[in-house]
Amino acid sequence: MPHLIARLADWLRPFWLGALLALGLAQPASALSFAIPPFLPQAELEKSFSPLIDQISQMTGLPITLKTFPNYLAFWQETRSGSNFDIALDAAPTTDFRVQRQHWQVIAKMSGTVTQSLVTKGDNAVLDPSELINKKIAVQPSPSVSALTLYQLFPNPVQQPNLIYVESNRQAADEVLAGKVDAAVIPTPIAVGYPDLNTVTTTAPLPFLAISISPKVTAAQAKTLRDALLNLDKTSQGQALLKASQLRPFEAATNAEYAGDEKLLEGTFGY
């Protein structure tokens, strides 16, 4: 009898293996984590980008989840310690940081370039940044591009403004309008939405937000994601989504377009 049971087990083994394999294949694929820095309040980020991520997921057949961060310090800590996510929509300096240090690949970008603006309240006539030395300026913490460019505007550490750190660019603008600070550095596309702000100066442009992927993303997944992003504005549904979310269309991009931008991070803790 034991020999018969052993022979039966040997005969059934291929069927067991096949069943186990089939069960494994039937399991849903692990979701790709899509990270976005906290340059807007979390509720606004979710409102703007959740529909985009849902649409890209439908177009590609890949499960994708949104990953946000409570503040820039948390974002930078996770970025410099390995970027434990799969896809990122990010500014030029940290995009290039991942490319150079963590072997990520840029697959697309939002069209055009972006600048930062030093702004004051409309009735506060400031003509030159030097007038704001020792004055209060609201800015998101480094490595936000706003903070990194502020250090370029005030390179002398003993002749800098009093930095007031805020959690989002919206909060920075609101602090200026409320008279709690003398100025703020915020992205120009956000500044133009506040007609009561006065622009003191605008920085040199950088390539706009890039979509990059980690080495864990396969070549097939990368191609599928790239094609979906580049074709998003080719349909009426995609155009409506971008308009409702106030997002620019995506265009082709490579690592080379962001090469050297990580240098803006010099002096940042952990760089």
**Segment 171-216, tens digit of pLDDT:** 999 999 999 999 999 999 999 999 999 999 999 999 999 999 999 9
pLDDT at 7: 47
Mode of pairing for the β-strands spanning 183-187 and 116-121? antiparallel
Sign of CA dihedral 182, 185, 190, 193: positive
pLDDT at 2: 45
Number of neighbours of residue 120 by Cβ within 10 angstroms: 21
pLDDT at 23: 39
Q: Cα–chain-centroid distance for residue 220?
A: 22
pLDDT at 20: 37
% of the chain residues with pLDDT over 90: 79
Q: Give the C-alpha separation, 87 to 216, whole Å.
A: 10
Nearest to 98 by CA among 126, 79, 70, 123: 79
| 0.95 surpassed by pTM | no
Question: Which residue type is seen at 253?
Answer: A
Q: Where are the beta strands (DSSP E) in 111-266?
A: 113-114, 116-121, 136-139, 162-165, 183-187, 197-202, 206-207, 210-213, 250-251
Alpha carbons within 13 angstroms on the beta-carbon side of residue 230 total 12
Burial code of 38-68, b = ≥16 C-beta within 10 A, e = fewer?
bbbeeeebeeebebbbebbbebbebebbebb
Mark the ranges of the chain whose per-residue pLDDT is less than 70: 1-29
pLDDT at 24: 39
Q: Which two tokens stand for residue 174?
A: 């609101």
Listing from the earlier edge strand, what are the strands of the sheet with 136-139? 162-165, 136-139, 183-187, 116-121, 197-202
